[in-house]
Structure 1
Amino acid sequence: MVIGAGPTGENLADRTRAAGLTTAVVESELVGGECSYWACMPSKALLRPVAALADARAVAGSREAVTGKLDAAAVLARRDEFASHWKDAGQVSWLESVGVDLVRGQGRLDGPRRVVVETPDGGRRTLTARHAVAVCTGTRAMLPELPGIADAHPWTSREATSSPTVPGRLTVVGGGVVGVEMATAWAALGSTVTLLVRGSGLLPRMEPFAGELVAEGLTAAGVSVRTGVSVTELRRAAESEPVTAVLSDGGRLESDEILFATGRAPRTDDLGLDTVGLSPGGWLDVDDTLRVRGIDGEWLYAAGDVNHRSLLTHQGKYQARIAGAAIGARAEGRALDTAPWGAHAATADTAAVPQVVFTDPEACAVGPTAQEAERAGRRVRAVDYDLGQVAGASLYADGYRGRARIVVDLDRGHLIGATFVGRGTAELLHSATIAVAGEVPLERLWHAVPSYPTISEIWLRLLETYRG
């Protein structure tokens, strides 16, 4: 039994079905989950035209051919296509094609291996799993407790990625991934955007230069980036009226909509966790096989955002593959391979997590930052290089600005982290992820020759700098 049919739940169901187990999925909303309809797909559909136009404007010759702005209506229509117009028939068809049963309704645990489903027609079904139940319910947007927030009807990530119209003025609260990506998208579509960040910079979980270069890009695109300021109160007379944000510095900011991109909370408060001895409402603690700790037996799993290991769709799908294999092995009575990088251990969650931020410039990273590695007690060296000095980058865009860093474990002689910021760098990331996950020695990477002239030549420049 899988509770939650987002990308994680779908992949886990596919893997257990492939292992020979009958599998059913319970879903209370749309099959495909947050990523398909309110996050990854619609947000990147909004951002891709921004990057395409920026790339065209960055090269002499094509720059002169670009005479207009983005067609907002066309961008939103394309976004709607990628969100399947918020209908899940295609995803349901896929579940059927791999032999997974779908049960629509709100699923809750009701003791070991038992799930009670309240169906849309008011009915009630009790389902019992022979081997395992996997919780893949993900997260929801978290709104701060502020005076006036209930009457202000603020946007969360869902409204930000699905709005049918472009707001004239948009305030974005939060300097993380959702905040900077939505500021990028809506500014390009015509909104006057103000980005409010409580801390001192953007993208605090990446290398400091990433947030600095993204802030420069946002400012160049017309976004007002204000750091060290937070919202203390909201005022709105009606949903159709402007919203006023009262700020911590004593100022006031009026806009047509306000987006809070200030964190996520697990969707576990109405999951029946108390029926199996767990506290409701919190993150689910799991081991590397994704089995939930703190209960009797080896039957309850949690994969994806709900376990707080790594709140990224691709990591949830990775966890689903690991958990599915572990469930299948345990069902057959086979021993599990739980050693680091083993078939039943989600090692990448702690050692090689990749992420791309689709701003202009793009920012992407895998593994720990240099500071994080040092705090963990590792002896490391950070090697930096100006991406604009790479021939392929200068060909990619006139006046290319960017930066790259690798973090080398000096005791073991391989990469443990890498960060790239600049146009077109997202496609560099998987090579870094392979190097980190594969623990490829730097001496062997020296023989991985990058094609000339591509941005990938940054690898050679970084290794040359490291060798001296």
Structure 2
Amino acid sequence: MQREVDVIVVGGGPVGENAADRARAAGLEVVLVERELVGGECSYWACIPSKTLLRSAAALRAVQRVGGAREAVTGGLDVPAVLARRDYWVSDWSDQGGADWLESIGIGLERGHGRLDGARRVVVERTGGGEIVYLARHAVVVATGSDPVVPPIAGLAEARPWTSREATSVTEPPARLAIIGGGVVAVEMATAYAGFGTEVMVLARSGLLGGMEPFAGEAVAAGLRGLGASVRLGVQPTLVERRESGEVVITLDDGGSITADEVLVATGRKPRTERLGLETIGLEPGGWVDVDDTMLVTGAAGNDDRPWLYAVGDLNHRALLTHQGKYQARAAGDLIAARALGRPEQTNPWGAHVATADHSAVPQVVFAEPEAVSVGLTVAAAERAGLHVRAADVAFSSVSGAGILADDYEGRARLVVDEERGTVVGATFVGQDVAELLQSATIAIVGEVPIDRLWHAVPAFPTMSEVWLRLLEALGRPAAKDASEPESEEAA
């Protein structure tokens, strides 16, 4: 069977859905190919279930930090109720709602594994058997996401380790959980399971949250220990054995060992491109896919003469975050529609059809204990980029809104400022409920708002946003210029 449509989207997670939606909204005929569940990893095994598992214990801890409220709490966390709430949010792993939504907006759904077979050609191995070939009049968008990496540690694969999927879909938490890794998945799942009462052991060969400012990882390590978790840094497993009893014994490179009921591997991700058919269009299979700022795949056969192949989301390796993938998909979907319909292309920096913010303003929230959020560049990253920067650091103890939010509130905020341009290029907040501060920092960076102008963005009192005033005070107002003096030799 063979069928021709305007746009083919391979991958039905939130990123693929956004690309398909944008193209369809412009009037193009779109088919979406998905081999598992419409809604993808984020909806069923990542963002949604993980944050749902984390929320109940976080809310309980928040109540316990407020005098007058903590006295009313007489019981502990109801773990079965938490798991039931998670089941509700993942629709009991049914994607009927997603499929119905696609039908309601006129997007065709093809269930099966899609692979490229030359330019503008996608072969779908249907879930129910048989194949169908789709030909794209205008574009193919690949949004197949990524999978967890299981490192080559002796015995690890044979020990049947958990990945993020097993961790977020658990039906009964284990008594003991070992976690290999120190990134976002590792610390969030450590926080969630410690909240359940599981004995958690985190094994990280370096610090936690290495992509953030160092103080963020340090605070999260302290927070996990405060929840009763063990956090061991600077160690690596050398051998993993699943015993007949079901226990997992992990031997470490320092000569020690630990025993757990389950082991979660959270050491990174790899692209789902091994069976994508990249070799049929001149690209190497199995690796990350290179794109330009319009998400057009570089090096693909025919893409230079008549653009047709786009890659959005994890597999282009620009920012492995659902919200950034959706941002890329919106830009790509709109550009595909513009090119198909002969409309003007907006591919200038910050234009509607490019993902400029992927380079300078990627926001991220780690729902750990405490929350750690960041956007833009760290001090180290800014210096590596050749910027002359200055950092301002403030403790949240100086913010009235923080003290009202929780007794003895602990947290820290940092702004990274480009001295030459006088604008914010990075921000990090660590503490309870700091996630809601992130968008203001993102806007400041994307908008390149001058520090002088930020002084006039008055934070309401007494709220957490007052930290912005404290940060500006730490930076200090720039010295006033003498209007009688020339600013440069040219002015003179």
TM-score for the superposition, normalised by structure 1: 0.98
Please, what is the CA RMSD of the aligned residues?
0.9
The reply to whether residue 191 of structure 1 matches residue 203 of structure 2 is no
> How far has the Cα of 1:190 moved from its partner?
1.4
The reply to whether residue 156 of structure 1 matches residue 163 of structure 2 is yes
The reply to whether residue 95 of structure 1 matches residue 102 of structure 2 is yes
| 1:345 equivalent in structure 2 | 354
Contact 2:177 2:263 in 1 (8 A): yes
Extract unaligned runs of 5+ from structure 1: none
Secondary structure of the residue aligned to 2:461 is coil
CA shift digits 1:192-216 (9 cap, x unpaired): 00011111x1110000110111111
| 1:401 equivalent in structure 2 | 410
Q: 1: distance between equivalents of 2:200 and 2:50?
A: 17
Residue type of the partner of 1:55? Answer: A
203, 209, 219: which one aligns with 2:209: 203
The reply to whether residue 433 of structure 1 matches residue 442 of structure 2 is yes
The reply to whether residue 314 of structure 1 matches residue 314 of structure 2 is no
| 1:234 equivalent in structure 2 | 240
111, 115, 122: which one aligns with 1:104: 111
| 2:394 equivalent in structure 1 | 385
Q: 2: distance between equivalents of 1:94 and 1:355?
A: 28
Secondary structure of the residue aligned to 2:179 is strand
Residue type of the partner of 1:53? Answer: L
Q: 1: distance between equivalents of 2:18 and 2:410?
A: 38
| 2:266 equivalent in structure 1 | 261
Higher Cα radius of gyration: 2
The reply to whether residue 447 of structure 1 matches residue 452 of structure 2 is no
| 1:330 equivalent in structure 2 | 339
124, 139, 143: which one aligns with 1:117: 124
Q: 2: distance between equivalents of 1:409 and 1:334?
A: 37
> How far has the Cα of 1:332 moved from its partner?
2.1
Residue type of the partner of 2:315? Answer: V
> How far has the Cα of 1:37 moved from its partner?
0.3
The reply to whether residue 223 of structure 1 matches residue 223 of structure 2 is no
> How far has the Cα of 1:120 moved from its partner?
1.5
Contact 2:150 2:157 in 1 (8 A): no
The reply to whether residue 132 of structure 1 matches residue 158 of structure 2 is no
264, 269, 286: which one aligns with 2:291: 286
Contact 2:46 2:165 in 1 (8 A): yes
| 1:11 equivalent in structure 2 | 18
Q: 2: distance between equivalents of 1:48 and 1:12?
A: 30
Contact 2:9 2:140 in 1 (8 A): yes
> How far has the Cα of 1:325 moved from its partner?
1.0
Q: 2: distance between equivalents of 1:419 and 1:197?
A: 22
> How far has the Cα of 1:237 moved from its partner?
3.1
Provide the aligned length of Structure 1 versus Structure 2. Answer: 466
Residue type of the partner of 2:268? Answer: G
- Listed as ranges, the matches of 1:407-418 within 5 Å are 407-418=416-427
> How far has the Cα of 1:150 moved from its partner?
2.7
The reply to whether residue 33 of structure 1 matches residue 33 of structure 2 is no
Q: 1: distance between equivalents of 2:269 and 2:157?
A: 18
| 1:79 equivalent in structure 2 | 86
CA shift digits 1:140-182 (9 cap, x unpaired): 0110112212321100000010010010000011111000000
Q: 1: distance between equivalents of 2:193 and 2:90?
A: 17
Q: 2: distance between equivalents of 1:162 and 1:190?
A: 17
Secondary structure of the residue aligned to 1:13 is helix
Secondary structure of the residue aligned to 2:75 is coil
> How far has the Cα of 1:335 moved from its partner?
4.1
Residue type of the partner of 2:299? Answer: G
The percentage of counterpart residues that share the same residue type is 61
| 2:251 equivalent in structure 1 | 246
Residue type of the partner of 2:223? Answer: G
Moved more, 4-13 or 57-66: 57-66
> How far has the Cα of 1:339 moved from its partner?
1.7
Extract unaligned runs of 5+ from structure 2: 1-7, 478-492
TM-score for the superposition, normalised by structure 2: 0.94
| 1:301 equivalent in structure 2 | 310
Q: 2: distance between equivalents of 1:62 and 1:401?
A: 19
Contact 2:79 2:196 in 1 (8 A): yes
